[in-house]
Amino acid sequence: MDIFGKIKEKLSNEFIDIVEWLDYTDDTIAHRFERYQNEIKNGAKLIVREGQTAVFVNEGQLADVFSPGTYDLTTQNLPILATLKGWKYGFNSPFKAEVYFVNTHLFTDEKWGTKNPVTLSDARFGLVEIRAFGTYAFRISDAGKFIIDIVGTDNNFTNFEINEHLKSLIATRFTDTVGEANLPIELYAANTTELSETCKEVMAPEFESVGIALEKFFIENVSMPEDLKKEIFEYSRLDKLDMQKLAQFKAAKAMEAAAKNEGGTAGAGMGMGMGFVLAQQMGTMMGGPMGQQQGFPQATGAAVPPPMPTQVMYYYAVNGTQQGPVSIDQLRALFAGRTINRESLVWKQGMANWAALQEVEELKSFLGGNTPPPLPEG
């Protein structure tokens, strides 16, 4: 090649313009390609790498969008920009346009949390407050919409800038979702997976409206005040316990503890009492069927106790559903745990119809504040 050919080739190479962006950060979402006066030469090469999308903007108006690949910029592959600029017969001179490269890879482990407690209404505990936090992941699904609606003229847009907007959106939608779920308060922490999926479905359209796809959403923890947590634990125990058996067990433990206190009068008396009880039980066994099987004579003239009284059982209604039967002690525990209240309907055998708890004579003691009648005169 002669000297003139080499000079011509060198000048030709100098006029070739390359439009590309090498991303060396993990937090940049959109970057504006900087050019002197935004001029791009005719025939310039556009290189869009995997995980990128190139967006051309002309005077604030969205033009052409390019997916990963290498392109020679001509009127053939810039049809929208050519229309906006009115190039009827092509162009041979540099043109002005803003080029944004958008990072389309998945942004993971983004944090979210409720800045203030979320107030909920629970049927048993009244107004309660909860807090929640977790993570989410997103990617840019519509680069053109994202540039026009969110980025604007920002030359280097990071995920920190969009996260504040997304966190506020998440907190608002989370509050709406848990409020409409109407779950018992103790079930929010136990159903984080189902609640996460529901929240994701509710929030996804909001993200899509600005060109963002919400790929993952996780609720890691739902917390409540410690005093409320203790109250819920106590209520759950009462709801599961047989109150009659619990009272018997505690009485037996108290007798055992008193009997071990040999140095005290009360302990000695309790020990004697337990001895009498055991002796009576042994006598019954010896004179009863079991004693007869062992060769003991049947007791004569022994007092036979009357049959045990039949325990009255109650039915009660919760949210229009019949529950029970339960004993009066269990009913008292349900009232103390706020499962039922003075207006709750109850019924027992012998009653013609269901009645409010406060109208049943033997249940009025639940309400407190009872006073004896006045003493008779004289």
| CB contact at 8 A, 32 and 1 | no
| 93 and 143 co-located in one domain | no
Residue 247 lies in a domain: no
Domain range holding 141?
107-229
pLDDT at 291: 46
Instruction: Please classify residue 49 by burial: count the beta carbons closer than 10 Å to its beta carbon, then call 0-12 exposed, 13-18 middle and 19+ buried.
Output: middle
Write the CATH number for 327.
3.30.1490
Is residue 190 located within the same domain as residue 145? yes
Predicted pLDDT at 36 = 62
Task: Indicate whether 159 belongs to any domain.
Answer: yes
Higher pLDDT, 217 or 366: 217
Q: Considering 46, 79, 103, which residue would you say is the last residue of a domain?
A: 103
pLDDT tens by residue, 42-65: 788 999 999 999 999 988 889 999
Give the residue from 171, 203, 229 where a domain finishes.
229
Residue 167: inside a domain: yes
Instruction: Supply the mean pLDDT for the chain.
Output: 78
Q: Give the domain CATH number at 206.
A: 3.30.479.30
Residues 21 and 120 in one domain: no
Nearest of 271, 286, 354 to residue 316 by alpha carbon: 354
Q: Are residues 167 and 96 in the same domain?
A: no
The residue type of 142 is D
Averaged pLDDT for residues 164-182: 85
Q: Is residue 269, in this structure, part of any structural domain at all?
A: no
Looking at residue 95, what is its pLDDT?
Answer: 80
Query: Could you tell me if 148 and 62 are in contact, meaning their C-beta atoms sit under 8 angstroms apart?
Result: yes
Instruction: Give me the number of domains the chain comprises.
Output: 3
Q: Band the pLDDT of 261: cuts 50, 70, 90.
A: low
Q: How confident is the model at residue 226 (pLDDT cuts 50, 70, 90)?
A: confident
The CA-CA-CA angle for residues 13, 18, 20, to 5°, reads 160
181-215 per-residue burial string, b: 16 or more CB within 10 A, e: under 16:
eeeebbebbeebeebbebbbeebbeebeebbbebb
Residues 55 and 141 in one domain: no
For residues 256-270, average pLDDT: 57
For residue 196, tell me if it sits in a domain. yes
pLDDT tens digits, one per residue of 289-332: 444 444 444 545 556 677 766 788 999 998 888 998 999 989 88
**Whole-prediction pTM value?**
0.55
Strand, coil or helix: what is 172? helix
Closest C-alpha to 15, from 45, 54, 50 = 45
Same-domain pairing of 112 and 225: yes
pLDDT of residue 11: 41
Residue 239 in domain:
no
* Look-up of token digits 């009066």: 328
Residue 276 in any domain: the answer is no
Model pLDDT for residues 18-27, shown as the tens digit of each residue: 899 987 777 8
> 229, 250, 278 — which closes off a domain?
229
The answer to which of 4-13, 86-95, 100-109 has the lowest mean pLDDT is 4-13
pLDDT attached to residue 77: 84
Q: What's the pLDDT at 181?
A: 75
Query: Does pLDDT of 90 surpass 80?
Result: no
Determine the distance from the C-alpha atom of residue 346 to the mean position of all C-alpha atoms in its chain, rounded to a whole number. 35
For residues 135 and 74, membership in a common domain is answered with no
Long-range contacts of 337-344 (CB under 8 A, 24+ apart): 337/124, 337/234, 337/235, 337/238, 337/239, 338/124, 338/125, 338/235, 339/124, 339/235, 339/239, 340/316, 342/366, 342/367, 344/316, 344/317, 344/318
Residues 147 and 199 in one domain: yes
Phi-psi sector, 104: left (phi>0), alpha (psi -120 to 50), beta:
alpha
Q: Give the number of other Cβ atoms within 10 Å of residue 62's Cβ.
A: 17
52 and 135 belong to one structural domain:
no
Q: Which of 18-27, 107-116, 280-289 has the lowest mean pLDDT?
A: 280-289
Q: Are residues 83 and 186 in the same domain?
A: no
pLDDT of 236 = 60
What's the confidence (pLDDT) of residue 153?
A: 81
Give the pLDDT score at 235. Answer: 63
94 and 111 assigned to the same domain: no
Q: Residue 160 is encoded by which pair of tokens?
A: 């920190």
Please tell me the least confidently modeled range out of 64-68, 92-96, 211-215: 92-96
* Confidence band of 75 (pLDDT split at 50, 70, 90): confident
- Residue 308 is predicted with a pLDDT of 66
pLDDT in tens, 119-171: 888 777 778 888 899 999 999 999 999 999 889 888 888 888 888 889 888 98
Span 91-104, pLDDT tens digits: 677 788 889 999 99
Which pair of tokens denotes residue 78? 């810039």
% residues pLDDT > 90 (the chain): 26
Do 130 and 221 share a domain, yes or no?
yes
Task: Tell which wins on pLDDT, 145 or 16.
Answer: 145
Confidence of residue 353 (pLDDT cuts 50, 70, 90): very high
Q: Which tokens in the block code for residue 363?
A: 């249940």
119: left (phi over 0), alpha (psi -120 to 50) or beta: beta
| Residue 266 resides in a domain | no
Residue 282: pLDDT over 80: no
